[in-house]
Amino acid sequence: MSRELSEEERAEFVFEVERLRQEHRDLDVAIDALMAVGATDRLQLQRLKKRKLMLRDRITTLEDALTPDIIA
């Protein structure tokens, strides 16, 4: 980001990151459970894994916005 975040924006980002991390953990549990019972619905597993990757990307983007740029 090219500008500094306000305290309110920073708080919203932190809250969103925590919410996304929880959803990411929930997807981990769901994927593990489906694999443990031998679920044969590969499409469902693919969708869950894709959603998990999208969450990881969004978390990374938000965390990058929260980290101040350091010019070396």
How high does pLDDT run on average in the chain? 89
Whether pLDDT at 35 is above 70 = yes
Concatenated DSSP letters of 13-63: HHHHHHHHHHHHHHHHHHHHHHHHTT---HHHHHHHHHHHHHHHHHHHHHH
Q: Which tens digits make up the pLDDT trace of 22-31? A: 999 999 999 9
Model-level pTM?
Answer: 0.81
